Structures are given as structure tokens and as C-alpha cells.
Structure 1
Amino acid sequence: MENEFLDKMEDNAVVQIWSEKTQLEKGDSLTEGYTSELGGLYSYQRNSEQSSRAASPLGR
């Protein structure tokens, strides 16, 4: 049972390394664009919530 677990961990590490290498080779890394897109989404959502609270008679 322990050997199966260790084999899975090793397989996962190999896949992760392959994926990172492939993304770097293709210039297809999500890290830079993904974080900036999330930041914009978070800002938009936060601003929308604040606007909704300001428009609400109870401020909620």
C-alpha cells in the first residue's frame, strides 16, 4: 500500500515537472496573466458590492 502511494507521488511530480517545462517552452505560463486577471475581477466584484451597499437604504 505504501509503495502505491509513493509511486503516485512520484508520477504526480513527473507530470508537474513536464507541465511546467512545456508551459515555459511554449511561453504559455498562466501565472502572470492569471494573477492580473484575478486582481481585476476581485476589484470589480468589490466595487460592485460597495456600490450595492451605498445604494441600499440600510447600507447592506
Structure 2
Amino acid sequence: ISPDIIAVQGQWTSQAFLYYWHQVEPILPLFIYSSINIICLQHVDATMSAFAHCHNIPQF
């Protein structure tokens, strides 16, 4: 699912959504450790980077 769809459905501003996403990052590995798929994680990272670039949001 595109981050744009999630942001729109949640009525997030681009900056708020990206900030939220970055706050989830330290916690997320604890819940997905047993089902790690590095290619999928790289795809998520690339998708979020493209979202930030598209909306002119600085990376943290």
C-alpha cells in the first residue's frame, strides 16, 4: 500500500505521517523479528524515501 494512501486515509499531513513513521521504526523490529524478509524491508524503506522526496520532506 502506498504511503500516500495511508496518509490520506488517516488524514495525516505529510510531515506528521513521516514523523510518526520514524517513531515506529525503533519499535517495529521487536514485533517482526521472527518474520524478517530483507527484500520487503528494503522495499518499505525505498517507498518511504520516495514519499519523503515527493513531498519535499527532509529525511531524519
TM-score above 0.5: no
Using structure 1 for the length normalisation, give the TM-score: 0.37
Q: Considering only CA atoms, is the larger Rg found in Structure 1 or Structure 2?
A: 1
Give the structure with the higher percent helix: 1
